[in-house]
């Protein structure tokens, strides 16, 4: 199964919003060993920006952390088709354009799930379901992905 990560998941993994969320996200990522982990290319830019601005990391350190993720996941590029789909998605469903682009790229990459705390939990578009990893109870789709 292919699973995409939104920026906030990587930000939490870097510990920017507390140890509790970091622990949940790191445990989840490590439990998805058999899944193909996808990160849309614009998420890398957003991560770098958040690390610098919110985390106040020096640019070189933010770069190193971002590149570390690049080595452990598959980057899915933002295509022209994904951007056009994102514009339609933002128009039709009220998503912010960058969230819509993350979802459109995840769909192009053939992902089944998009882990995000920022988008509507359970929203499904073109076969991709947004799952909030902090929701209680945990999504059945995420439970299935965590099975060995």
- Strands ordered across the beta sheet of 36-40: 74-76, 36-40, 2-5, 113-115, 128-131, 124-125
Report the distance separating Cα 11 and Cα 6, nearest Å. Answer: 9
How far is Cα of residue 122 from the mean position of the Cα atoms in its chain? 15
Q: Give the mean pLDDT of the chain.
A: 94
Q: Are 122 and 103 in contact (CB under 8 A)?
A: no
> Could you read off the pLDDT of 66-107 as tens digits, one per residue?
999 988 899 999 999 999 999 999 999 999 999 999 999 999
Cis bond leading into 121, ω under 30°?
Answer: no
Sorted by sequence, the CB contacts under 8 Å of residue 31 that are 6+ apart come out as 146
Q: What is the pTM of this model?
A: 0.94
CATH H superfamily, domain 2-146: 5'-nuclease (3.40.50.1010)
**pLDDT tier for residue 24 given thresholds of 50, 70 and 90:** very high
Instruction: Domain ranges for the chain, please list them.
Output: 2-146
Structure-block tokens of residue 62: 């933010």
């Amino acid at each position: 199964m292919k699973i995409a990560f939104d920026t906030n998941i990587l930000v939490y993994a870097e510990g920017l919003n507390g140890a509790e969320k970091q622990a949940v996200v790191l445990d989840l990522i490590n439990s998805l060993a058999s899944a193909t982990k996808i990160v849309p290319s614009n998420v890398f830019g957003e991560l770098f920006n958040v690390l610098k601005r919110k985390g106040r990391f020096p640019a070189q350190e933010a770069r190193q952390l971002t590149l570390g993720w690049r080595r452990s996941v598959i980057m899915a590029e933002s295509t022209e088709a994904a951007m056009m789909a994102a514009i339609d998605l933002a128009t039709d469903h009220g998503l912010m354009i960058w969230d819509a682009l993350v979802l459109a790229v995840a769909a192009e990459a053939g992902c089944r799930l998009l882990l995000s705390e920022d988008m509507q939990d359970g929203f499904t578009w073109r076969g991709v379901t947004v799952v909030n990893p902090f929701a209680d109870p945990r999504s059945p789709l995420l439970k299935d992905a965590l099975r060995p």
